[in-house]
Homo-oligomer: A and B are copies of this chain.
Amino acid sequence: MDKRELIINAALKLFADNGFHGTATSRIALEAGVANGTLFQYFKTKDELVISLYIHLKDELGEYITKHTADTKDIKEAMKSQILSSLFWALDNSTKFRFIQQFHTSPYIGQVEKGVLHKQVEPHLALIQKGIKQGIIKSLPADLIYSLISNQVFGLYQFVTSKKLSKIKQQETIQLTFEMLWEMISQKKVLT
């Protein structure tokens, strides 16, 4: 494994457990098994490490979702696989997900370029827009719906991890909660 990756892995774990400022660069280097100075060869500053780690993880999550999204014309099915795969990724990568959550509510978020942020949510917004145009999803601002969905994922993650549910119970809860979410955002058909 190359040094850059060693540093990233060590940083991720320590940041998630102790917070950004609560983690010294020297401890990251120690955990990674590299010298102090090596860290600063790969990342000019600590801030750059934190921020590029965030972008890296979001990209990873994005790729995972894309890969596991059913290739279907059915908006509900597409959205379901996007949401469920986010959750499975989060449950399988709890350290990474905890890092993202922490970063997201931290002042660091303001240091990420708007363009990068936008590029990452764009595919999700596009799907919502499509659903709205087809009259399947409620006619509301797409980013409001996106915000509600992603926070629903956070909430469900919170619940599932705080209780120690069996895999089966977990699955059931996730499925059920998606149906509830869909009920909330979908446009009810008017009977004619």
A105 near B107 (CB under 8 angstroms)? no
The distance from the CB of A138 to the nearest CB of chain B, in whole angstroms, is 7
Give A150's nearest chain B residue, CB to CB: B155
Cβ–Cβ < 8 Å partners of A158 in chain B: 147, 151
Cβ–Cβ < 8 Å partners of A156 in chain B: 144, 147-148
Q: Give A16 to B156 CA distance when docked, in angstroms.
A: 26
Whether A62 sits at the interface, judged by CB under 8 Å, is no
Q: Give A19 to B152 CA distance when docked, in angstroms.
A: 25
Residues of A106-123 whose CB lies within 8 A of B: 106-108
Q: Give A133 to B75 CA distance when docked, in angstroms.
A: 35
Interface on chain A toward B: helix, strand, loop, or mixed SS? helix
Given A138-B180, A180-B184, A184-B184, A22 contacting B107 (CB threshold 8 A) = yes
Whether A104 sits at the interface, judged by CB under 8 Å, is yes
Give A18's nearest chain B residue, CB to CB: B107
Whether A95 sits at the interface, judged by CB under 8 Å, is no
Chain A interface category by residue count: 35 or more
Q: Give A185 to B180 CA distance when docked, in angstroms.
A: 7
The distance from the CB of A23 to the nearest CB of chain B, in whole angstroms, is 9
Whether A17 sits at the interface, judged by CB under 8 Å, is yes
Whether A21 sits at the interface, judged by CB under 8 Å, is yes
Question: Which of A102, A141, A155 gathers the greatest number of chain B CB atoms within 10 Å?
Answer: A155
Q: Give A56 to B148 CA distance when docked, in angstroms.
A: 28
A107 near B19 (CB under 8 angstroms)? yes
Could you pull out 7 A-B pairs where Cβ atoms are within 8 angstroms? A17-B107, A105-B105, A144-B156, A144-B173, A147-B158, A148-B155, A183-B184
Extra pairs beyond A19-B106, A144-B177 (11, CB < 8 Å): A18-B107, A19-B20, A22-B107, A104-B105, A144-B156, A144-B159, A144-B173, A148-B155, A148-B180, A151-B152, A184-B184
